[in-house]
A and B are shown apart, each in its own frame.
Chain A
């Protein structure tokens, strides 16, 4: 059984687990908000490229690609968000089970192992906890795979932003405006990349 045997100090550890999943959830919410911003930026870039006409044909192609990228990113993040909100429920379930098991263990310690029914109660609690932890491990693996996939997508976004910067240089009179837009893209994508790196290091369960 995973319940601590000495005292009821389990709460601080479990609070840590909950805090960690809340952190993951908040990080994903932040990226979702940024992805939404990219979508609007890409739309603006498309309009700007249209206004620039022939001078910004290359930039126009890239801004369309960036829009598609933003839409893909939003989809990825929505699926990540679903996964983490499920994880918050699972982690909370584990915390509750651990707390119940720990308090029951404290009661058994005071009463002695000879009390009828305590072995069965311990076994039931341990089984429930193991099931919940296995579920959490599966969620953790899925979340890590999804984060890695999103990281690859964001790499592509970074390449598109760099190419847009190059194309902006050929934008004639619109060049400064196009350069500003492509710089904004690059900055936002770098911000998402950093958030994903933080996310990639977080674990729902301890190894």
Chain B
């Protein structure tokens, strides 16, 4: 069963990573969900799909009061990102969902009303959470055409959605990247195939290189921390993307 791991804490400001579910059926891709807690409010990043909702809800409830959830951040529109939306709204009907304006009329197919969605313009925006200012960082075409990452300047954590994702073998249960060279092999095929635009990739690498990042937390695979963050950015900048093979 999934568990919530506290990856950052400073007083009432916390980041929880809900990762690794050994009981999940193998045909469903493994996902990481992240919860940013600040004071009395919490924001859930990429809550995942319908089938894993019980596991995510239970893991979240073990570490944080779920009634404090003020919003959901959906990096993009994929089913493994946000198809559980209706279930979170079933629990808390007044939840807000932050997502690219591009998906404003698509995501309601998963659930919610007009008032549920707070759309993010292409250049990004500030998302306020109990006095904390989080930044929605543009990551368009990586891989979705309307795509955002979330940066917490206080915790120096970048939630990077599918960028940095690695499809790890089932026996790799480390929460953090321990050996970058070994780990990145599991990320290479994914990034080559899923990241469709070289220009978008270079833009993103430049943009995030200017941020002060201690941890980069992707939606699949292990968390990059310390020097591995810049290692990843350099590796990604050099990678040929948008190719079927090679």
Contact = CB atoms under 8 A, between A and B. Distances in A.
A116 B66 contact: yes
A109 B54 CA distance: 9
A120 B100 CA distance: 31
B57 interface: yes
Given A101-B90, A107-B87, A112-B61, 12 more contacts: A100-B86, A100-B90, A103-B50, A103-B87, A104-B53, A108-B57, A109-B54, A110-B1, A110-B54, A115-B61, A117-B67, A121-B92
A104 B87 CA distance: 7
Contacts, number: 50
Contacts of A103: 50, 53-54, 87
B174 interface: no
A110 B57 contact: yes
Contacts of A121: 90-92
Contacts of A13: none
Interface in B92-110: 92-93
B230 interface: no
B90 A125 contact: yes
Interface in B147-179: none
B87 A110 contact: no
Interface of B: 1, 50, 53-55, 57-58, 61-62, 65-67, 86-87, 90-93
Contacts of B50: 103
- Chain A CB within 10 Å — which of B50, B65, B67 has the most? B67
A2 interface: no
A110 B53 contact: no
Interface in A117-159: 117-118, 121, 124-125
Given A100-B86, A103-B50, A117 B91 contact: yes
B56 to A, nearest CB: 8
A116 B53 contact: no
Chain B contact residues: over half helix, strand or loop, or mixed? helix
A104 B90 contact: yes
A12 interface: no
A108 B54 CA distance: 8
Chain A contact residues: over half helix, strand or loop, or mixed? helix
A107 B92 CA distance: 14
Contacts of A124: 90, 93
28 contacts: A100-B86, A103-B50, A103-B54, A104-B57, A104-B87, A106-B54, A107-B91, A110-B1, A110-B54, A110-B55, A110-B58, A111-B57, A112-B61, A115-B61, A115-B65, A115-B66, A116-B65, A116-B66, A116-B67, A117-B66, A117-B67, A117-B91, A117-B92, A121-B90, A121-B91, A121-B92, A124-B93, A125-B90
A100 B53 CA distance: 10
Contacts of A112: 61
B66 to A, nearest CB: 6
A118 B92 CA distance: 9
A117 B92 CA distance: 8
B121 to A, nearest CB: 31
A101 B90 CA distance: 8
A207 to B, nearest CB: 28
Contacts of B55: 110
B62 A107 contact: no
A100 B87 contact: yes
Interface string A82-113: 00000000000000000011011011111110
Contacts of B87: 100, 103-104, 107
